[in-house]
A and B are shown apart, each in its own frame.
Chain A
Amino acid sequence: MLSTITSGAVYGVRSHLIEVEVDVSQGLPCFQIVGLPGSEVREARDRVKVALKNVGIKLPPVCININLSPADLPKNGTMFDLPVAVGILIALGELSQESVQDTLLLGEMGLSGELKPVKGVLPIVREAAKQGIKRCLLPEKNAWEGALTKEMESVGMSDVKEAVDYLAGKIKKKGAGREGADRLSKMLTGEEVSGQPDFAEINGQQGLKRAAEVAAAGFHNLLIIGAPGSGKTMLARRIPSILPPLSLEEGLEVSTIYSISGLLQSADSLKMTRPFLNPHHTITGRALAGGGRIPAPGVISLAHRGVLFLDELPEFKRETLDILRQPLEDKQVQIARSSGSYVYPADFMLVGAMNPCPCGFYPDRNRCRCTPYEVRRYLNRVSGPILDRMDICVEALPMQFAQIAAGGQEETSARVRERVMAARERQSVRFAGTDLHFNADMGAGEVERFCVLGKQERAYMEKMFTAMQLSARAYHRILKVARTIADLDGSEQIGKLHLAEAICYRQSDRKFWN
């Protein structure tokens, strides 16, 4: 007899529903799985056989053939254990095909029959809901994740026996509550974001904070240069708190990536706040971009919609940093493997931090003993194309000045965030009907179109261009940043004041040290 169970698998951030077809026929006893199963999928037969025996269901000596359809997609993961077990029982006539009508089954099985949590539940359930499936049977620990999708009834099962009894109608079990979903909406409205690091905790450093605000408003990448201990990391850590809160759609998108990586443990760890990732500088290219035989999302994908902070930028290997070039351009990363090509989103704000020179005290000549040559060599360690993508470059104040400036009431993240959101609103109006979202996305052509200068301002820029020896590349970057500053100011016209500030945020075209 034949049975069909609906299950699913994740491919990158996309997921597919997989039909598990089970046929049981008379013949020499056998148990095979076809349809490009990976080793962990193939091992399902041993787990299922033993688990069923241990919960008291004995399989007769029959010939069992299982096909995972569509058969041309490679299958990986342990979520097929439960569907395989249930499929066999239906094919044996223990359960009816109708009992699994419009039901999604996912779950790994232990030898005792208990159901263990699996990765990627959120995206699969979301895909299933899209295709009209109403109910899902999940391991108990994953039930909350299934319940995040509104149209789905998510039922958690502790072991395979319970699942079989439930499907047979012997026991009733209520779907997991919507606490997860309620929690979610609370998180999104910001009721539960307390405990996050806040801007108000940084004393002084007005310039640095202002630069971070501009960067957040236009989604510009930010380079912070400053002496050791000047609070570069402290500031970077607080940037997510001034970025606009994630929308529901964005939050689920981020959570999906975390789900695939197996990083969603409970509703508490659901990523509804902007991620902040700060990998150590010894990170490998694969860990950064994503990799492995079956590529797992890398750090840049985990930083999707959030902040990727690279401290001690010159210490990163050049090849590692160069990997960022394509994702910074395309906002996604593509990883090709023999099993297929995986695309992970990677739309992050890059924040880099570095010392101004090997000893960290430049331009304080009384303390800095680095030669110009050493300093230049230090900066040259950072790949040029990466520096090119840093729109805003700002110096963190050395402690001697920062301490003096400390004191007084500091602004909270919430207030800065309000201004950032207003500036973003202006950008979304401006870029309506184009592919662009933020000022940072503008290319040279778009800068000409959207950053039109008045007569006076043009004359000012011309004067500054020669006086400050700006390069053409710096010129465009300055206009982009000035556009954001004007947006923050609520002004449609870019003024002289905006341009002057933007000029001070330029990277001095590597002349920082001369």
Chain B
Amino acid sequence: MVEEREKAYLHWLYQAAGPGSRGFLRLLAPFGTAQEIYGQLGSGKLKERIAPRYAQKVAQMTAFSNGYDVEEAYAKMRERGICLVTEKETQFPERLKKIPDKPFALYYAGQLPQEDKKAVALIGARDCSEYGRYMAGEFGAAFAKAGIQVISGMARGIDGIGQTAALKEGGYSLGVLGCGVDICYPRENQALYEALLAGGGVCSEYPPGIEPRAILFPPRNRIISGFCDALLVVEAREKSGTLITVDMALEQGREVYALPGRVTDPLSGGCNRLIRQGAGLVSTPAELLEELFGKPGGAFLEKSGGREKGQQGRLVFLEGMQGELFEILDTNPLPAEELQRRYEEKYGKRTELPILFQELLELCAGGYAGQIGGSYFMRILKI
């Protein structure tokens, strides 16, 4: 058990050393507790004992500590609802304890994931396609319904969409940040950030107040994969930051799954390659649940009602022109005039644009199609 007092000094130490000084902190470990290190810094002993090449770091710590009230700073942070948990404590997430290069401590706000519940990391490209956007939402919501915790990085694109969907369904989600937990980055995810604070949690190994920097993000990916039991890549290019997380997950012994995409779609290139390299192919949430719980269906299918029927089951209800139009729609948005041309080509019937618009809107209203802008339409798959 770590005393609150010692935690206050640890908080000081992490702040003084600055982000990205894990190696330095490891070096300091034999010097005693954080409080003792504080004392040694004050008396100048630290400077004598440590290798000369760290002199600048020590000077930086001394400068930081000038006028810094350790206990007060910690109390203030706690008042803001931010907690610190160290690896020596029992509350420290079990899953993280086992990973190589684990963080010394975690700052968090809201709740950390529950140990006895399954957790899946749902990650992918920031500039995702409509397909990825849709899939992330579906999987996020399905996981929440099945009581699975969704771990991700609160980034733009797949991360944020999956987490938002999970929270909307009343599930738990954790955002692992590459900045202080008091900073919402990217700013457009403000609503998600607030929702996470209320119904989930955000955590970071960096102290509050640390601004997002590019070099801080790759290390946080090991925490995302560390928190999960399985990792699902929704969309990724062949060269993608998402693949760093995949590497970490493999190193940590987590199962990696990927959602297949079309081979011509660069945004699915990373996923398809992962599958080729042996990642599990997942096309519906049920399949992943089956893998996770080791039995077909898992908790999800019983709860989800009519959803288990595939799209063919639903298609029966689309009659006449709507059914025909659904057939020619694509998961990539297509302009109405292209649909008009395809319709004529496939069915040999010429149709006027206004009629096409009307029927397509009916499909949209029924949830079978989506409208992008004014004249682009795409098929929505029911999974």
Contacts and interface: CB of A to CB of B under 8 A. Distances in A.
Contacts of A395: 335, 373-376
Contacts of A376: 188
B364 A207 contact: no
A501 B374 contact: no
A336 interface: no
Contact of B337 (A206, A225, A370, A373): A206
Interface in A471-514: 485, 496-498, 500-501, 503-508, 512
Contact of A468 (B186, B334, B340, B361): B361
Interface string B340-356: 11000000000001110
A373 B190 CA distance: 13
A356 B361 CA distance: 22
Nearest to B354: A501
Contact of B129 (A365, A373, A506, A508): A365
A210 B188 CA distance: 37
A275 B353 CA distance: 30
B157 interface: yes
A485 B352 CA distance: 14
Contact of A505 (B126, B265, B340, B374): B374
B43 interface: no
B130 interface: yes
B371 interface: yes
B21 interface: no
A422 interface: no
Contacts, number: 106
Interface string A244-261: 000000000000000000
B265 A463 contact: no
A463 B335 contact: no
Contacts of A393: 373-374
B156 A468 contact: no
A507 B340 CA distance: 22
A366 B358 contact: no
Interface string A369-403: 11111001000000000000000011101100100
Interface in A278-293: none
Contact of A363 (B265, B266, B338, B376): B376
A53 B187 CA distance: 78
A351 to B, nearest CB: 16
Nearest to B126: A371
Interface residues of A, number: 42
A497 B128 CA distance: 34
Contacts of B129: 365
Nearest to A498: B354
A504 B156 CA distance: 28
Interface in B264-309: 264-267
Given A372-B127, A501-B357, A467 B335 contact: no
A363 B374 contact: no
A225 B376 CA distance: 12
B335 A401 contact: yes
Contact of B372 (A363, A366, A398): A363
A468 B365 CA distance: 7
A71 interface: no
Contact of B354 (A467, A500, A508): A500
A512 B373 contact: yes
Contacts of B128: 365
Contact of B341 (A356, A404, A501, A508): A404
Given A365-B129, A395-B373, A464 B361 contact: yes
B332 interface: yes
Contact of A207 (B266, B336, B355): B336
A87 interface: no
Given A207-B335, A372-B156, A373-B188, A503 B357 contact: yes
A300 B128 CA distance: 41
A405 interface: yes
A501 B353 contact: yes
B171 interface: no
A5 to B, nearest CB: 62
A205 B337 CA distance: 8
A401 B157 CA distance: 28
Given A370-B127, A372-B127, A372-B157, A497 B376 contact: no
Contacts of B334: 401
